[in-house]
Structure 1
Amino acid sequence: MPGTDILFVWDFLSTAVADAWPAADRLRWVHVASAGVDRLLFPELRDSDVVLTNSRGVFEESIAEYVLGLVIAFAKDLVGTVDAQRERRWHHRETERVVGRTALVVGSGPIGRAIARMLRAVGLRVAGVGRAARDGDPDFGTVYPFGSLTDRLPHADFVIAVAPLTEQTEGMFNATTLATMKPSARLINVGRGAHVVTDDLVRALEGGVIAGAALDVFEEEPLPASSPLWSMPNVLVSPHMSGDFVGWLPALAELFVDNFHRWRSGRPLRNVVDKKLGYVPTGAAAWTGATEEGATHAG
């Protein structure tokens, strides 16, 4: 850290930056290879003048494809088909349609928008929950304010959590909010594990409060082998991989390289995070760093 102007945080789950922060004597810019920045919003960085950027723009379409796959997997009982095949059991049954079903996307940023577009394309009715309410949105139709989440949950067949992790969104799916959902509804979490109170979700699934869940992120990662979520028949577990497509690592590196050249030439940086909000606001002003002549040491 001593003498470093720029820090590229490749391991977005690491807590090493907070531990090393006292040695940062000239740091000006931190870039993280993820869309989420909650691990970096410790008080010293958040309250400093150091600029934080993320990797928005890399994962949107891949996560949207993953969510579409989960919606179809639930509606068409693909897990049941695979299980029956393994047992060599001819198990004919009816499955659900997705056309006309309702999806509520909690998080109206770029990833939420990509999810909304993809679900609309296959015939779902989509609404969003975000920081600011609005009608006539090109992707969501209607975006409801976060404070109305519990009012909107009873209307949704699929609830997709993709919001940034903030004080407002932490634990937003708990015993109270889960109880407002349809008994036939499924919860899909591709946002942050802390969006969901795990013990409350387990009880809701065991008690038939909701019909199922697909979880790509968890309060504790890796998910402990002792977790009941692994063996629940109405749960799909994946290891924090919804955005990770073939070629994602080079794409992350290319985004940083582009931003580094911008910093060196004094051009505006992409994806500047509002450290008070915890994400990149739509239409946020960009930040200009050093010029080409400025001395730079990247860590």
Structure 2
Amino acid sequence: MRSYGVNVDKAPVITILHGGRPPEPGALARVAERAELRWTDAAGLPAALPGTDVLFVLDFGTDALPAAWPRENPPRWVHMGSTGVDAAMFPALISSDVVVTNTRGVFDAAIAEYVLGQIIGFAKDFGGALLRQHRREWEHRETERVAGASVLIVGTGGIGRAIARLLRAVGMRVSAIGRRERTGDPDFGTVGTDLRAELPHADYVVAVAPLTERTRHLFDAAAFAAMKPHARFVNVGRGELVVTGALVDALRTGAIAGAALDVVDPEPLPAEHPLWTLPGVRITPHNSGDWVGWSGAILSAFADNFDNWVAGRPLRNVVDKQLGYVPG
């Protein structure tokens, strides 16, 4: 195991890339006692990186890292404040010995609750009820049961497991798609590898896979054509998992019945984009995991990992840079 200990004679330099609004000064007080903190936005990153020991990325939508990355003496450790690490997966970093970690675990429960809420919303037609309320229409109708419905979770990491446990708790039949086939998984039951073969059996499809070259545009026209006409699609992974035009066509033609999209491609979604107004579509602004207190939890998770780094202990949530995520 590689040692992450630091030179005790020199305070390590931590550059914190924020998205325009840095956290409160005291949020990383116990880290600041032992390190020099440099706060920067994307524009200032090239000037801030020289001499940096640790890069802490709090700007979740950043694309600034490849251009700003120093050719010599890069940071020893990059910590992503998000679960997804695609912003750090560029050739110079992947091929280096720089360690990348993420904030796995902070968002799992909140995203699982979001998925359950969207599925119940579809089944109980809350959107239709609100529309009728606005119209002052009293129209009796039947809704669907959640219990007994089948859900295919595409992505078997920590968030996928949290989703599976919550959906099982309300009686849904859960299966999953991952890298390795297996049966008897305590959360997913059966895990397959052939997405197209499993899509026709699902009433709901939940995309939560990390964005890698293997998963980019995983949901294309053929994938949506394989789904049931009454199936709903929920994306809490990355917008680039989906060919957006193919999703629009599937919704317009009735190939699928609806979609709940917390992530889209592009982000933010332009005001004139057809997804805003297509029937059966629900859009949220990439906030499915943003529970009250999440930002403080991210900083605490980094501080805990910094304790490990200073002490020379193994870091938590180390990313396999060839896979593009933390192995399960």
TM-score bucket of the superposed structures, by smaller chain: over 0.9
Look up the match of 2:266: 220
- SS of match in other structure, 2:151: strand
Preserved CA contact (<8 Å) 1:4 1:24: no
Residue type matched to 1:155 in 2?
H
Look up the match of 2:37: none
Look up the match of 2:187: 139
Residue type matched to 2:59 in 1?
D
Q: Distance in 1 between matches of 2:191 and 2:317?
A: 23
**C-alpha displacement at 1:24, in angstroms?**
5.6
Of 79, 91, 95, 2:127 maps to: 79
Q: Quick one: structure 1 residues 245 and 158, their matched pair in 2 at CA, closer, same or farther if it must change by over 3 Å?
A: same
Q: Distance in 1 between matches of 2:57 and 2:148?
A: 42
For 1:82-97, what aligned pairs fall within 5 Å after superposition? 82-97=130-145
**C-alpha displacement at 1:26, in angstroms?**
4.2
Preserved CA contact (<8 Å) 1:134 1:143: yes
**C-alpha displacement at 1:18, in angstroms?**
1.5
Which digits, 9 at most, give the CA deviation of each residue in 1:269-299, with x for residues without a partner? Answer: 01000000000002xxxxxxxxxxxxxxxxx
Q: Distance in 2 between matches of 1:120 and 1:49?
A: 40
For 1:148-297, what aligned pairs fall within 5 Å after superposition? 148-282=194-328
Of 66, 83, 95, 2:114 maps to: 66
Preserved CA contact (<8 Å) 1:2 1:23: no
- SS of match in other structure, 1:279: coil
Q: Quick one: structure 1 residues 3 and 121, their matched pair in 2 at CA, closer, same or farther if it must change by over 3 Å?
A: same
**C-alpha displacement at 1:178, in angstroms?**
0.5
Preserved CA contact (<8 Å) 2:147 2:170: yes
Preserved CA contact (<8 Å) 1:3 1:24: no
Q: Distance in 2 between matches of 1:105 and 1:203?
A: 22
**C-alpha displacement at 1:219, in angstroms?**
1.2
Alignment: residue pair count: 280
Of 40, 44, 53, 1:5 maps to: 53
So what's the TM-score if we normalise by structure 2? 0.84
Preserved CA contact (<8 Å) 2:261 2:282: yes
Over 4 Å off, 4+ runs:
none
Residue type matched to 1:56 in 2?
R
- SS of match in other structure, 1:36: coil
Q: Distance in 2 between matches of 1:24 and 1:86?
A: 61
- SS of match in other structure, 1:71: helix
Q: Distance in 2 between matches of 1:23 and 1:131?
A: 34
Q: Which runs of 5+ in 2 are unaligned?
A: 1-48
Query: Bigger shift: 210-219 or 21-30?
Result: 21-30
Q: Quick one: structure 1 residues 70 and 158, their matched pair in 2 at CA, closer, same or farther if it must change by over 3 Å?
A: same
Look up the match of 1:286: none
Residue type matched to 2:286 in 1?
H
Residue type matched to 1:219 in 2?
D
Preserved CA contact (<8 Å) 2:50 2:70: no
Query: Bigger shift: 66-75 or 17-26?
Result: 17-26
Q: Quick one: structure 1 residues 98 and 25, their matched pair in 2 at CA, closer, same or farther if it must change by over 3 Å?
A: same
Which digits, 9 at most, give the CA deviation of each residue in 1:198-231, with x for residues without a partner? Answer: 1111011000000011111011110010111111
Aligned Cα RMSD in Å? 0.9
Residue type matched to 2:188 in 1?
F
Residue type matched to 1:138 in 2?
P
Q: Which runs of 5+ in 1 are unaligned?
A: 283-299
Q: Quick one: structure 1 residues 96 and 17, their matched pair in 2 at CA, closer, same or farther if it must change by over 3 Å?
A: same
1:104 aligns to 2:162 (yes or no): no
Residue type matched to 2:63 in 1?
T
**C-alpha displacement at 1:177, in angstroms?**
0.9
- SS of match in other structure, 2:315: coil
**C-alpha displacement at 1:22, in angstroms?**
2.2
Residue type matched to 1:115 in 2?
I
Preserved CA contact (<8 Å) 2:150 2:204: yes
- SS of match in other structure, 1:35: coil
Residue type matched to 2:154 in 1?
V
